[in-house]
Amino acid sequence: MNNLTINEIQRFSFDSSNVRGERVLLNKAYQEIIKRKDYPLVLEKLLGEFVAAIALLRDIVKIDGVLTIQAKGNGFLSTLMTECDEHQNLRGIAQWDDSQVVPDVISLKEALKGGYLAITIQPRNGQRYQGIVELVGDTLSECLEQYFSQSEQLPSRVWLAANGAQCGGLFLQRLPDEQAKANDEDAWERLTHLASTVKEEELLGLETGELLHRLYHEEEIRLYEAKSMQFGCSCSRQRTLDAIMSLGSEEIREVLIEQGSVKVDCQFCAEEYEFFESELAELLGDEAKIH
Ligand SMILES: [Zn+2]
């Protein structure tokens, strides 16, 4: 994989049709996410698909703010979550029951045993929007495609792959018909059929231009400027404090009495935050004072 451009997302379009696409390939940003916990390989792969998916979706959501994909279930895997902001900062996490034997190969649906997938758009200014689908599909790709059809968005297809070192994805979307391009009526069928032939090693091992050439050598493709993506955590002292305050004064007081301070580690980036009584007492009001 010499000179392979990674940690990037790149948009493309087909000159003869109203179909657009995205391709993402990440290694460093993905590795930064999975190294935070001692994930079994099968979870590194599932989490990698989420990371690739959030990168693809983030680039088509035209708002300043944070996009989140979260799956919740009742299997040995309880939560899979990834987030990406408008500056291409990615973070993600999986929570699982490590007292159970984790199989080497398992589908998302089996790992979560039912549950749901939620996609949340949180603009910096404005109202939060959330779409939810039941986990009916076996894979994240199927669940996302179901989400797109259920939420009556534009027809979309997603291909995802991850191997513990790299994660990658391909996304195609049919835009509303434009007069100039409406003459290529079977384009969507043809382009998605060709994309369906993509192999995991191609998604994870080929430069975007090379991948698209391999899939679409008879099509005229326009490649747009790539954007870099990186690991980045949105935690802060203030946000952590807000989360602590939401626990309620009684619980905070108990922790202060037992431990002398309230310590919180960010699950995404391992940053440690510590708050002492002097800082908390004022916020809790007089009744919360210990001494
Ligand atoms: Zn953090």
Ligand 1: centre distance to CA 239 (Å): 10
Ligand 1: centre distance to CA 221 (Å): 39
Ligand 1: centre distance to CA 265 (Å): 8
Ligand 1: centre distance to CA 259 (Å): 22
Ligand 1: centre distance to CA 143 (Å): 28
How high is the pLDDT of residue 286? 52
Domains and CATH numbers, the chain: 8-231 (3.55.30.10), 237-288 (3.90.1280.10)
Q: Mean pLDDT, consecutive 10-residue segments, the chain of 291 residues?
A: 73 92 96 94 97 94 92 95 95 93 90 94 92 92 91 89 97 80 78 96 94 95 95 92 88 90 91 90 63 50
Task: Give the phi and the psi of residue 19 in degrees, each rounded to 5.
Answer: -110, 135
Ligand 1: centre distance to CA 29 (Å): 14
The Cα-based distances of 189 to 139, 156, 186, 218 in angstroms read 21, 11, 5, 15
Ligand 1: centre distance to CA 193 (Å): 40
Ligand 1: centre distance to CA 250 (Å): 26
CA distance 173 to 176: 10
Ligand 1: centre distance to CA 167 (Å): 21
Cβ–Cβ under 8 Å, residues 19 and 172: yes
Ligand 1: centre distance to CA 237 (Å): 10
Task: Give the phi and the psi of residue 243 in degrees, each rounded to 5.
Answer: -65, -40
Side chain identity at residue 98, one-letter code: D
Which segments of 135-253 are extended strands (E)? 156-162, 167-174, 221-223, 227-228, 230-231
The DSSP element (H or E) to which 251 belongs, if any, is: helix 249-259
Ligand 1: centre distance to CA 212 (Å): 36
Q: How far is CA 266 from the centre of its chain?
A: 18
Ligand 1: centre distance to CA 33 (Å): 11
Per the document, the length of the chain is 291
Residues 6 or more apart whose Cβ sits within 8 Å of residue 16: 181, 184, 187, 219, 220
Ligand 1: centre distance to CA 220 (Å): 43
How high is the pLDDT of residue 101? 86
